[in-house]
Amino acid sequence: MAYWKYGLYAALLGLVFTACKRTEKSAVTGWNYNDPEWGGFEKLDYEGQITGPNLVLIEGGTFTMGQVQEDVPFDWNNIPRRVTVSSFYMDETEIANIHYREYTRWLKRVYGGTYPEVWRKALPDTLVWRDELSYNEPFVETYFRHPAYDDYPVVGVSWLQANDFCAWRTDRVNEMILVRRGILNMNTLDQKDSDVFTTEAYLAGLYQGSVRKNLPDLATGGERPVRFEDGILLPKYRLPTEAEWEFAALALVGNNAISGDEVISDRRIYPWDGFSLRYRKRDKHQGDFLANFKRRGGDYMGIAGALNDAAHIPAPVRSFMPNDYGLYNMAGNVSEWVADVYRPLTPWTLEDFDQHDLNPYRGNVYKEVLRDENGQPVKDSLGRIVYYVPDDTAVYKRWNYKRSDLRDYRDGDKDFEEYIKYLYGQTTLISNKARVIKGGSWADRAYWLSPGTRRFMDEDRSSRTVGFRCAMTRTGSPMGNDKKAGKYFKAKKKVKRKYD
């Protein structure tokens, strides 16, 4: 009887709230939102983008990107210039061996029976540990697979492999979101080959999965799958751009923590304040190293009984103190892949065009979805939507870009003859495959720990000193979900109405 009374009370309470709730109308048509009688067009009470696993919100802003100390190698490849970076998310740590093994194990389970080459292609190159005059064979055999190194950053992964990991991670996180919201059932055993959850295939209606309960469809009175417009699924995990990585590494927000205004020193040599590589505050950590690096020739970790960074190779991903954004090892441990194509003179071209001072990036390749004769997206044998790079003739009428592949923009273009042309194999090793790596590693001197330094490596190569972490675009307010910006603009509107 008590349960019946509770149910009746809840039903009556629901009716009261429904009656009291004011129907929201369109400001341009006057039609009701979320009303089946008016077509069922939905307007959500969106609470903001959730933070994905292991991510930290990096509040963006303006900063001086580039060299902050003497250019020791005289590369002159990162001249200082002021840019703005939009807010985004960054992994708190580097991707560890245990994370990457989870990925390769999934590939083997799902594709291994029919497409074993997919799993083999993703495996790290453990032979990067070998050297002609060094005995590192134990690392070849143990570093990636042994549980002792579970929490150590994965190495031997190419830029291409890192991007594939990001795509896989996007799908697994979004699939889990749908499972936890009660929309899909977890059906890991049934997913094989092309019948697997990928975010894009699901949104395109090319994957249904094991449905538990879809969302109500106000237009038809039935149910429907999740749509992009619902804001439930997260954007893609991806590699950070060079500007994003450098901005996050510097963590200049720490220089503004006291004043809270725009009076800020935006010059740091390392991801922490000050000029020392050791912790300076007078407590139990005073004098401790703040990063894992090679102090001098032959000194990777210090003297027995008084090890300085206590790491002869990479250290666990949560070693040392995080920077002011809460990010670990943005200097030392392993260098990290970023998204950009490398050109030493890219900073010069950035100076010439104002639009490049917001989220600067080199490497745009604009792709289109491949569609069949009915206009439906095409899915490949691995369950992924197929893309292609359109011919330049399809975009030449656009005013904002004239080419689909812009990796070598202004690189010997006939319209920009005053700029250098990189002749791969003749005068340089730089090509469209050259990708930027940032941050020093466990095998580097302190100079490379500065976020302003940059090097490159071909996207299909790997190293024992290079790993990666993921990033994600922030949609909506750059200040997060705390509605600070909303309150600010509402206050301005009230003032405006007062003087109308």
How many domains does the chain contain in total?
2
Tell me: do 32 and 73 sit in the same domain: no
Instruction: Tell me what pLDDT residue 96 has.
Output: 98
Instruction: Tell me what pLDDT residue 2 has.
Output: 44
What tens digit of pLDDT does each residue of 183-233 get? 999 988 889 999 999 999 999 999 999 999 999 999 898 999 999 999 999
- pLDDT category of residue 426 using cuts at 50, 70 and 90: confident
Tell me: do 7 and 140 sit in the same domain: no
How much is the average pLDDT of 405-422?
70
Highest-pLDDT range among 44-58, 157-171, 278-292, 343-357: 157-171
Whether 418 is in a domain gets the answer no
Whether 205 is in a domain gets the answer no
- pLDDT category of residue 483 using cuts at 50, 70 and 90: low
Tell me: do 167 and 295 sit in the same domain: yes
Whether 214 is in a domain gets the answer no
pLDDT averaged over every residue in the chain: 86
Instruction: Tell me what pLDDT residue 69 has.
Output: 77
SS3 per residue for the chain = CHHHHHHHHHHHHHHHHHHHCCCCECCCCCCECCCHHHCCCCCCCCCCCCCCCCEEEECCEEEEECCCCCCCCCCCCCCCEEEEECCEEEECCCCEHHHHHHHHHHHHHHHCCCCHHHHHHHCCCHHHHCECCECCHHHHHHCCCCHHHCCCECCCCCHHHHHHHHHHHHHHHHHHHHHHCCCECCCCCCCECCECCCHHHHHCCCCCCCECCCEECCCCCCEECCCHHHCCCCCCEECCCHHHHHHHHHCHHHHHCCCCCCCCCCCCCCCCCCCCCECCCCCCCCCCECCCCCCECCECCEECCEECCCCCCCCCCCCCCCCCCCCCCCCCCCEEEEEEECCCCHHHHHHHCHHHHECCCCCCECCEECECCCCCECECCCCCECEECCCHHHCCCCCCCCCCECCCCCCCCHHHCCCCCCCECCCECCCCCEEEEECCCCCCCHHHHCCCCCEEEECCCCCCCEECCCEEECCCCCCCCCCHHHHHHHHHHHHHHHHC
Tell me: do 1 and 109 sit in the same domain: no
Tell me: do 238 and 170 sit in the same domain: yes
Side chain identity at residue 179, one-letter code: V
Instruction: Tell me what pLDDT residue 457 has.
Output: 96
Query: Could you tell me the residue range of the domain that residue 30 belongs to?
Result: 1-43
Proportion of the chain above pLDDT 70, given as a percent: 83
- pLDDT category of residue 437 using cuts at 50, 70 and 90: very high
- pLDDT category of residue 373 using cuts at 50, 70 and 90: very high
Instruction: Tell me what pLDDT residue 286 has.
Output: 63
Whether 479 is in a domain gets the answer no
Question: Which CATH number goes with the domain that contains 146?
Answer: 3.90.1580.10
- pLDDT category of residue 488 using cuts at 50, 70 and 90: very low
What tens digit of pLDDT does each residue of 143-188 get? 999 999 999 999 999 999 999 999 999 999 999 999 999 999 998 8
**How far apart, in whole angstroms, are the C-alpha atoms of residue 17 and residue 180?**
27
Instruction: Tell me what pLDDT residue 276 has.
Output: 77
- pLDDT category of residue 4 using cuts at 50, 70 and 90: very low
pLDDT over 70 (residue 287): no
